[in-house]
């Protein structure tokens, strides 16, 4: 069964001038149980809006969302019980200590009282926050607050964990910790959906991705397949001297050049014979997510 | 699932326990001041067979109960909306009406604790030595606390800021409390006000509590009990309506 099944979901808002604005436009994709899925796209693409519809916080104007087969709009409480959610905005309670925040939040998901203490300690230890147990939540630093929000989301051992930009504004070593935790949870069977700005992170973590831009899906599938699709037909190379006559079919891509490939051996020979010692680097490796992303979003902007 | 709602209730009780001094002392000082003044002014006066001081005392305690039960959920919810932690209420798997009830019950609990402490601190100075109807008194206090707790939830979800809360308390709650027969029997009020007071829901809460505590009633107890139940049902409906509007999927 799919952990998440999004079918033709659309969400419209009204702009201040009362014009309709489509934040999520006919989006469909699925996530298989036990996978790590990245939802990627530039700012304002509609990622957070889509996530808030999955969490039963906003209602789609059209389309359906099923979590573990249950409709989010028809069974919101049941769906919420299965989810752990780390929202994009950092929000903390004013009055409570870290321990209290977690204790009551776990309770609201039905974690029995006698289990809460041990779970809180376990999660905080893993997130390197255990020495803040008795501190007031609002006095934590930004990165600590972010980790507190992650802790809140996983205490009840959700089947499906959703993280909206969990590493935004978090330093490198902390990001490693967060991703290590996500990997462990995934290894234990938790399905993960996350969004991030850092495409390298997505590259390292995800098996599958959905790229969205202007509310529309522009690419969806297994990361490997997408990378192959974008690289199998091209050789990338850099030149020392850029002011030289080019071989037919060579195009500039940033500081690189690209040559459409039909046969690896023959095309490589053609390029090296033409440019000779002018070639600084040459490769036919898989395209990075960033390159794919730029290419796709440029195309869709034209 | 029941446990989720109770955890939310426990959290809201914890919230006011953290400001216990505030919770207890400001209403306590309030009641003590009023009693000091009325004690001096009223002396040994009697109202229909009970001492005036005892009459006012029960009125003041009812007022305190109503204020604490109402303001606890309103404050908590207005703060939650302002700092954004209201999102927690949208994420957790607790149905909307249960979220409302958890907050209202926490309001009742605060009212109850405040009342208990105020009584312990002041009852020694009041010529009131027995409780006329203990169980009805408990029921009257409980239903009054939950009733205004629910109104507080509705208001907390509806209000945008603390200003609205101040406006409501100053221009609606306070006048209603003054016309509720807290300080004098409403029959003794001049012409239009004695009738108007009959339509003041708070009057009926004060009346059932005072009747249960002292045996004295300021109008029909039966009518008051029916009005209190009806208004509670109304506030329950209002609370659910406003809670849903705020927490449902938009
Ligand atoms: N409640 C709302 N009302 C009006 N516009 C909104 C609302 N929420 C989001 N938007 C708009 O929808 C678009 C998508 O926003 P969002 O989902 O937050 O993007 P992302 O998370 O991908 O950065 C943005 O242009 C944003 O301004
Ligand atoms: Mg976002």
> For B76-129, how does the pLDDT look when each residue is reduced to its tens digit (9 = 90+)?
999 999 999 999 999 999 999 999 999 999 999 999 999 988 888 888 877 777
Query: In which band, very low, low, confident or very high, does the pLDDT at A299 lie, cut at 50, 70 and 90?
Result: low
- B-facing residues of A in 109-168 (CB < 8 A) are 109-110, 112
Q: Identify whether residues A72 and A41 lie together within a single domain.
A: yes
Query: In which band, very low, low, confident or very high, does the pLDDT at A302 lie, cut at 50, 70 and 90?
Result: very low
Q: Which atom of ligand 1 is nearest to the CA of A15?
A: 4
User: Does any domain span residue A293?
Assistant: no
CA distance to partner chain B, nearest, from residue A107 (Å) = 5
Read off the pTM.
0.88
Domain edge (last residue) among A204, A227, A250: A227
Q: pLDDT tens across A25-41, in order?
A: 999 999 999 999 999 98
Contacts of A76 in chain B (CB under 8 A): 249
Range of the domain at A253: 232-285
Q: Identify whether residues A67 and A140 lie together within a single domain.
A: yes
Cβ–Cβ of B14/A96 closer than 8 Å?
Answer: yes
Q: Which of A154-163, B45-54, B131-140, B227-236 has the lowest mean pLDDT?
A: B45-54
**pLDDT of A201:** 83
Q: pLDDT tens across A275-291, in order?
A: 988 998 888 766 677 77
Average pLDDT over residues B191-204: 86
Q: Identify whether residues A188 and A271 lie together within a single domain.
A: no
Query: In which band, very low, low, confident or very high, does the pLDDT at A231 lie, cut at 50, 70 and 90?
Result: low
**pLDDT of A104:** 97
Mean pLDDT score across all residues of chain A:
90
Query: In which band, very low, low, confident or very high, does the pLDDT at B145 lie, cut at 50, 70 and 90?
Result: very high
Q: pLDDT tens across B9-40, in order?
A: 999 999 999 887 777 777 778 888 887 887 77
Contacts of A94 in chain B (CB under 8 A): 79, 83, 85
Q: Identify whether residues A60 and A183 lie together within a single domain.
A: yes
- Check whether A71 has a pLDDT greater than 50: yes
CA distance to partner chain A, nearest, from residue B188 (Å) = 46
Sheet hosting strand A70-71, strand order edge to edge: A20-32, A2-14, A62-67, A70-71
**pLDDT of A150:** 96
Q: Identify whether residues A49 and A134 lie together within a single domain.
A: yes
User: Does any domain span residue A294?
Assistant: no
CA A55 and chain centroid, separation = 16
Count residue pairs from A and B with Cβ separation < 8 A: 81
**pLDDT of B234:** 97
Cβ–Cβ of B7/A87 closer than 8 Å?
Answer: no
Residue with the bigger pLDDT between B242 and A15: it is B242
- Check whether A300 has a pLDDT greater than 70: no
Contacts of B82 in chain A (CB under 8 A): none
The number of domains in chain A is 2
**pLDDT of A61:** 96
Q: Which atom of ligand 1 is nearest to the CA of A88?
A: 21
**pLDDT of A294:** 78
Q: Is A240 on the interface with B (CB under 8 A)?
A: no
**pLDDT of B1:** 46
**In the structure, which protein residues have their CB atom closer than 6 angstroms to any atom of ligand 1?**
A 13, 23, 41, 43-49
User: Does any domain span residue A256?
Assistant: yes
User: Does any domain span residue A299?
Assistant: no
User: Does any domain span residue A262?
Assistant: yes
- Check whether A301 has a pLDDT greater than 50: no
Residue with the bigger pLDDT between A250 and A154: it is A154
Residue with the bigger pLDDT between A168 and B138: it is B138
Q: Identify whether residues A258 and A155 lie together within a single domain.
A: no
Mean pLDDT score across all residues of chain B:
89
Residue to mutate (ligand 1; options A10, A39, A44, A217; most atoms within 8 A of CB): A44
**pLDDT of B191:** 80
User: Does any domain span residue A34?
Assistant: yes
Q: Identify whether residues A133 and A87 lie together within a single domain.
A: yes
| Sign of the torsion formed by the C-alpha atoms of A103, A105, A107 and A109 | negative
Domain edge (last residue) among A191, A212, A227: A227
* Nearest bound ligand to the CA of residue A43: 1
- Its ipTM equals 0.90
Query: In which band, very low, low, confident or very high, does the pLDDT at A76 lie, cut at 50, 70 and 90?
Result: very high
**pLDDT of A53:** 97
Q: Is B87 on the interface with A (CB under 8 A)?
A: yes
Q: Is A89 on the interface with B (CB under 8 A)?
A: yes
Q: Is B191 on the interface with A (CB under 8 A)?
A: no
Average pLDDT over residues A173-177: 87
The residue count of chain A comes to 302
Cβ–Cβ of B4/A92 closer than 8 Å?
Answer: no
Q: Identify whether residues A133 and A172 lie together within a single domain.
A: yes
Q: Is A87 on the interface with B (CB under 8 A)?
A: yes
**pLDDT of B162:** 87
Percent of chain A with pLDDT over 70: 97
Q: Identify whether residues A194 and A281 lie together within a single domain.
A: no
Beta strands A62-67; A251-253: pairing state:
unpaired
- CATH code of residue A35: 3.40.50.300
Q: Is B79 on the interface with A (CB under 8 A)?
A: yes
User: Does any domain span residue A15?
Assistant: yes
**pLDDT of B175:** 83
- Check whether B154 has a pLDDT greater than 70: yes
Where are the alpha helices (H) located in chain B, listed in sequence order? 2-17, 20-42, 52-83, 87-91, 96-122, 134-158, 162-168, 174-178, 191-198, 201-214, 221-247
CA quadruple A158, A159, A165, A168: dihedral, nearest 10: 50
With H, G, I as helix, E, B as strand and everything else as coil, classify residue B183.
Answer: coil
| Sign of the torsion formed by the C-alpha atoms of B86, B91, B93 and B96 | positive
Nearest to B69 by CA among B80, B81, B61, B79: B61
Q: Identify whether residues A250 and A113 lie together within a single domain.
A: no
Q: Which of A14-23, A26-35, A220-229 has the lowest mean pLDDT?
A: A220-229
Q: Identify whether residues A218 and A242 lie together within a single domain.
A: no
Q: Identify whether residues A9 and A140 lie together within a single domain.
A: yes
- From atom 24 of ligand 1, which residue's Cα is the shortest distance away? A44
């Amino acid at each position: 069964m799919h952990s998440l099944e999004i079918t033709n979901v659309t969400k419209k808002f009204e702009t201040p001038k009362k014009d309709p604005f489509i934040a999520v436009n006919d989006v469909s994709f699925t996530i298989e149980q036990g996978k790590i899925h990245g939802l990627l796209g530039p700012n304002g693409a509609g990622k957070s809006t889509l996530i808030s519809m999955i969490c039963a916080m906003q209602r789609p104007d059209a389309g359906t969302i099923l979590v573990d087969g249950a409709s989010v709009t028809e069974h919101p409480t049941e769906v919420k019980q299965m989810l752990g959610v780390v929202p994009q905005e950092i929000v903390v309670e004013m009055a409570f200590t870290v321990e209290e925040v977690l204790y009551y939040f776990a309770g609201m998901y039905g974690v029995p009282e006698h289990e809460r203490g041990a779970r809180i300690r376990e999660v905080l230890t893993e997130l390197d926050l255990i020495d803040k147990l008795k501190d007031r939540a609002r006095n934590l630093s930004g990165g600590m607050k972010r980790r507190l929000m992650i802790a809140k989301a996983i205490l009840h051992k959700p089947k499906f964990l959703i993280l909206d930009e969990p590493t935004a504004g978090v330093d490198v070593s902390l990001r490693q910790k967060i991703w290590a935790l996500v990997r462990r949870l995934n290894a234990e069977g938790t399905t993960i959906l996350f969004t991030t700005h850092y495409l390298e992170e997505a590259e390292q973590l995800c098996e599958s991705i959905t790229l969205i831009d202007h509310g529309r899906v522009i690419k969806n599938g297994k990361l490997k397949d997408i990378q192959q699709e974008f690289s199998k037909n091209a050789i990338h190379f850099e030149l020392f001297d850029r002011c030289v006559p080019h071989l037919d079919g060579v195009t500039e891509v940033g500081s690189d050049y690209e040559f459409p490939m039909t046969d690896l051996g023959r095309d490589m020979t053609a390029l090296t014979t033409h440019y000779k010692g002018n070639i600084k680097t040459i490769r036919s490796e898989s395209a990075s997510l960033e390159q794919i992303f730029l290419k796709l979003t440029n195309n869709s902007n034209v | 699932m029941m446990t989720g709602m109770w955890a939310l209730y426990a959290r809201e009780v914890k919230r006011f326990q953290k400001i216990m001094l505030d919770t207890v002392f400001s209403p306590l000082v309030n009641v003590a001041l009023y009693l000091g003044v009325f004690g001096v002014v009223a002396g040994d006066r009697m109202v229909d067979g009970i001492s005036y001081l005892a009459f006012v005392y029960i009125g003041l305690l009812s007022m305190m109960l109503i204020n604490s039960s109402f303001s606890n959920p309103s404050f908590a919810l207005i703060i939650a909306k302002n700092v954004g932690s209201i999102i927690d209420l949208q994420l957790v798997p607790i149905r909307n009406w249960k979220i409302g009830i958890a907050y209202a019950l926490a309001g009742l609990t605060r009212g109850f604790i405040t009342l208990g402490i105020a009584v312990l601190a002041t009852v020694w100075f009041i010529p009131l030595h027995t409780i006329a109807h203990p169980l009805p008194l408990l029921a009257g206090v409980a239903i009054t606390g939950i009733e205004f707790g629910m109104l507080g939830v509705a208001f907390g979800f509806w209000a945008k800021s603390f200003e609205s809360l101040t406006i409501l308390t100053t221009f609606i709650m306070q006048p209603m409390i003054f016309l509720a027969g807290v300080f004098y029997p409403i029959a003794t009020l001049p012409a239009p006000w004695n009738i108007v007071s009959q339509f003041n829901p708070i009057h009926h809460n004060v009346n059932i509590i005072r009747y249960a505590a002292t045996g004295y009633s300021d109008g029909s107890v039966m009518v008051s009990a029916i009005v209190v139940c009806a208004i509670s049902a109304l506030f329950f409906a209002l609370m659910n309506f406003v809670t849903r509007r705020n927490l449902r999927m938009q």
